[in-house]
Structure 1
């Protein structure tokens, strides 16, 4: 799947001249946690998130760090924090370094972006740089919940066994030479030795995902550690 398959579109946006109060109201009314900021050409120039609203003078939540923290931070950082907590317009509170993706970006890459950058959503832009959608962590969860189970297939036991062994040979973590699989009427019995419980679980999951498998019996054992 690609970003285009799960993205929300059209996207609720604001301009940099909007007030912080207006953005806060929009987020509450639309039940969203972020609002992209666009220019006249509908290109993303920033984004306002819940995090940008945490420390605000209106709510009495502006930062009140100890003197030594302020001393270490320096006057420039303190000035920037003051502007963000007291500013009236979006241009002064928005995050300008926006991480984005394209409609063709594979979902696994979007998931990696969200995880590695510790962000909750990614604006989706086309080749012209125009905002066309947004993908959040919730949208990825929706994709999982909406996934349709594979149609049941009745494959010969020998085919199931061979497909499982072939799949395991492609995995760097598996050690097929230490494994054996016996398939009877769609039930897979796993035998052999593994290095860890995680490898054991992965092998069981691999077997469960082979079309035609009815159930899996795990007889795998962890290799004993030699003392000498």
Structure 2
């Protein structure tokens, strides 16, 4: 599935020359926390977010920095902060460092970017940089709530065992030398030594993700101190 398949296309968009007060009222009336800012050709210039508006509102209480302290800061950074916190037009207040994705970007990559950047939405642009939609966390949530894919064809116990062993070797948090999985009739039983409840849960989730597994049983014991390297 691609970004184009889940993106929202009915959007509130703003002009860079719009007064900030008007833009804030439009966001409030639509009940959205941000809107893309476009030039006359539909190309993305930035995004006006509620964070931008709150920054501007908070600036009312800021005290002017002393001339002496200003010598130790970047003049460009100080000027940018002043413009963004005192600007009257959207172009002066908006966020311009905006992460974007293309229409063919896989939804998994979109989700990873939202998580990595800790942001709520990603504009989707075409090859000319024109905005075509936005993918939000809510759009991804709708995808996750859709019916799960059909169960894969049943696998033999030997196939499950091999797949599980490969998956375990790929995870650094698994003490593979002390974990012994068994498979019978699609039921995975994991025995051996396990250092924590979190690792047990991870093992269960990992095993449940192997095609053909019908059930997972964790029958491990606490890892003895001698195996943990204790004196």
The answer, yes or no, to whether TM exceeds 0.5 is yes
TM-score (norm 1): 0.80
Provide the residue aligned with 2:32 in structure 1.
32
> In the alignment, which of 35, 46, 64 is matched to residue 61 of structure 2?
64
- Compute the displacement of 1:42 (Å): 0.9
Match of residue 44 from structure 2: 44
Q: Is the 8 A contact 1:33 1:50 kept in 2?
A: yes
CA distance in 1, matches of 2:131, 2:137: 18
Q: What is the rounded CA distance, in whole Å, between the counterparts of 1:173 and 1:162 in structure 2?
A: 19
Unpaired stretches in structure 1, ≥5 consecutive residues: none
SS of structure 1 residue aligned to 2:59: coil
Contact map agreement 1:70 1:78 (CA 8 A) in 2: no
Deviates more, 1:181-190 or 1:47-56: 181-190
CA–CA distance in 2 between the matches of 1:191 and 1:177? 11
Q: Which moves more between the two structures, 30-39 or 187-196?
A: 187-196
RMSD after superposition = 3.0
1:115 is aligned to 115
Matches within 5 A, 1:6-25: 6-25=6-25
The residue correspondences of 1:114-153 to structure 2 (distance < 5 A) are 114-146=114-146, 148-151=148-151, 153=153
1:226 lines up with 2:223 in the alignment: no
CA shift, 1:142, in A, is 2.5
Render the CA deviation track for 1:108-130: whole Å, top value 9, x for unaligned: 43333323333221111111111
Equivalent residue, structure 1, for 2:99 = 99
Stretches of structure 2 that go unaligned for 5 or more consecutive residues are none
Distance in 2 (alpha carbons) for counterparts of 1:53 and 1:209: 44
Whether the 8 Å CA contact 1:36–1:48 is kept in 2: the answer is: yes
Contact preservation (8 Å) 1:192, 1:221: yes
Question: TM-score of the superposition, structure 2-length normalised?
Answer: 0.80
**Count of residue pairs brought into register by the alignment:** 225
Q: Distance in 2 between matches of 1:142 and 1:162?
A: 34
Q: Which moved more, 1:42-51 or 1:160-169?
A: 160-169
Q: Deviations over 1:150-169 (max 9, x none)?
A: 42644433433333223323
Whether contact under 8 Å (1:126, 1:132) holds in the other structure is yes
